[in-house]
Structure 1
Amino acid sequence: MSQRIKQFIFLCLMVLCAFATPASAEGIKIKSFELERVDNDWLLNASFQIELSPGLEDAVKKGVVLYFQTEFDLTRSRWYWFDEKPIVAQRQTRLSYQPLTQQFRIASEGFTFSAKTISEALQAVGSIGGWDVIDNNQLDPSKLYTAGFRMNLDLSKLPKPFQVNALNNRDWNVSSDWIRFPLQPNGPSLIKR
């Protein structure tokens, strides 16, 4: 084999390796969660690690408001039809930047918080505490359910020009994977990971 062919093969392998390795660690990852029964309710506490791409961080600093949506659902498998979803809950958290005070503002369900840095703001967005997701009266104690939740950037709330950009740019599609786990209504009162 000639020297040119070897160089060409080496170059092709280097290009393939560059595309095979992830370029960045942006996205949303679930760090921990617990689902706890308190009296007649199930409360979700969760912690997400959120990392935005430089383009998204820049957009926030220039005034684009980001809406993060946390979704929770409870399903029960049925052999004769589609799975039953007795409970579907959603919660939105709003992240914005205030140029006059040079602070990030987080708002969710009547709760507001200000942060000086984007990392503090994303940590606040990724912290969910005491979210009432299930009323135990809605569940059949003899059945087994599957609970699941995730967090994602709600692209439908972006201004229209950014929605078009999000369709063409993977950096704007920020989402965690679904976490699914079994739930027995009369089982343990604390599920933790």
Structure 2
Amino acid sequence: MPMPNRSNRGCFYRTNTKMAFITRLFKSIKQWLVLLPMLSVLPDAAAEGIDVSRAEARITDGGQLSISSRFQTELPDQLQQALRRGVPLNFTLSWQLSAPIIASYRFKLGQLIGDDDNIDYKLSFHPLTNRYRVTVGAFSTDYDTLDAALRATGAVANWKVLNKGALSGAEAGETKAEIRLTLSTSKLPKPFQINALTSQNWHLDSGWKPLNIIGNK
């Protein structure tokens, strides 16, 4: 029986190596195909802790958008402890317009030149009274429990946005807008901003949620 020469042995080795690589590749692809359905049902980590319970908007007679919202927020233990130790938590309520196209373009252009379309909420704890306080601008309201204070954070009624006439003639079904509540980590004291960079517990974000828009009455 003839023995394979050195050249044949090299070809045989390379062929086996390629086959082994292809086999491992197919096994890897098969494992990913099994994992993909499970990954698709995992919750969005960025939205953990904040969920919307009310997201409505009405087109006013003057062609503006009147927004009403409420959120359900659960603070992780780490944030609750920081709050009770005197670290205020700032949340930002934002909105955006997606349609009609012309009004949406004007809205985005206004953002570029510095138009303010946010509401800032400051949540703090006061140990002398053992109460929580929510501050919006120059107005403050105290609450006996953290849950009550969190329900007030991000809550707004009849918040009129857009210039008058921006949505004049627009149909409710053709108008699309979204709302979002986030923890503003950039407003934390400097030492806690470092924590925010390394811990997911400091990243609370509802994500953009669609507003249920109704026509003017």
Paired positions, count:
165
Alignment of 1:99-178 (within 5 A): 99-139=127-167, 141=169, 144-178=174-208
TM-superposed CA distance for 1:98, in Å, is 0.9
SS of alignment partner, residue 151 of structure 1: strand
Q: Is the 8 A contact 2:55 2:210 kept in 1?
A: no
Find the aligned partners of 2:106 and 2:93 in 1 and give their Cα distance: 17
Q: Which residue of 2 aligns with 1:180?
A: 210
Find the aligned partners of 1:174 and 1:162 in 2 and give their Cα distance: 15
Q: Is the 8 A contact 2:49 2:205 kept in 1?
A: yes
TM-superposed CA distance for 1:134, in Å, is 2.5
The two structures, once aligned, show a CA RMSD in angstroms of 3.0
Instruction: Specify whether residues 142 and 42 from structure 1 end up closer, same or farther in structure 2 by C-alpha distance, changes over 3 A only.
Output: closer
Which segment drifts farther, 142-151 or 104-113? Answer: 142-151
Q: Which residue of 2 aligns with 1:43?
A: 66
Find the aligned partners of 1:58 and 1:85 in 2 and give their Cα distance: 43
The CA deviation string for residues 131-161 of structure 1, in whole angstroms up to 9 with x for no partner, is: 1123342346469543111000001100111
Paired-residue identity, %? 30
Larger radius of gyration: 2
Find the aligned partners of 2:124 and 2:170 in 1 and give their Cα distance: 45
TM-superposed CA distance for 1:53, in Å, is 0.1
Instruction: Specify whether residues 150 and 107 from structure 1 end up closer, same or farther in structure 2 by C-alpha distance, changes over 3 A only.
Output: same
Q: What one-letter code is carried by the residue in structure 1 that aligns with 2:135?
A: A
Find the aligned partners of 1:30 and 1:172 in 2 and give their Cα distance: 19
Find the aligned partners of 2:211 and 2:84 in 1 and give their Cα distance: 37
The CA deviation string for residues 115-140 of structure 1, in whole angstroms up to 9 with x for no partner, is: 11111111111321121123342346
SS of alignment partner, residue 205 of structure 2: coil
Q: Which has the higher strand share?
A: 1
Q: What one-letter code is carried by the residue in structure 2 that aligns with 1:108?
A: V
Q: What one-letter code is carried by the residue in structure 2 that aligns with 1:177?
A: G
Instruction: Specify whether residues 84 and 76 from structure 1 end up closer, same or farther in structure 2 by C-alpha distance, changes over 3 A only.
Output: farther
Find the aligned partners of 1:96 and 1:32 in 2 and give their Cα distance: 24
Find the aligned partners of 2:180 and 2:61 in 1 and give their Cα distance: 25
Unaligned runs of 5+ in 2: 1-37, 112-116
Q: What one-letter code is carried by the residue in structure 2 that aligns with 1:97?
A: F
Unaligned runs of 5+ in 1: 1-16
SS of alignment partner, residue 162 of structure 2: strand
SS of alignment partner, residue 135 of structure 1: coil
Instruction: Specify whether residues 182 and 113 from structure 1 end up closer, same or farther in structure 2 by C-alpha distance, changes over 3 A only.
Output: closer
Instruction: Specify whether residues 21 and 138 from structure 1 end up closer, same or farther in structure 2 by C-alpha distance, changes over 3 A only.
Output: closer
Q: What one-letter code is carried by the residue in structure 2 that aligns with 1:74?
A: L
User: Which contiguous aligned blocks of 4+ residues in structure 1 show a shift greater than 4 angstroms?
Assistant: 142-145
Find the aligned partners of 2:164 and 2:212 in 1 and give their Cα distance: 15
TM-superposed CA distance for 1:42, in Å, is 2.2
TM-score by length of 1: 0.73
Find the aligned partners of 1:29 and 1:166 in 2 and give their Cα distance: 20
Find the aligned partners of 2:170 and 2:59 in 1 and give their Cα distance: 17
Is 2:75 aligned against 1:52? yes
TM-score by length of 2: 0.66
SS of alignment partner, residue 137 of structure 1: coil
Which segment drifts farther, 105-114 or 83-92? Answer: 83-92
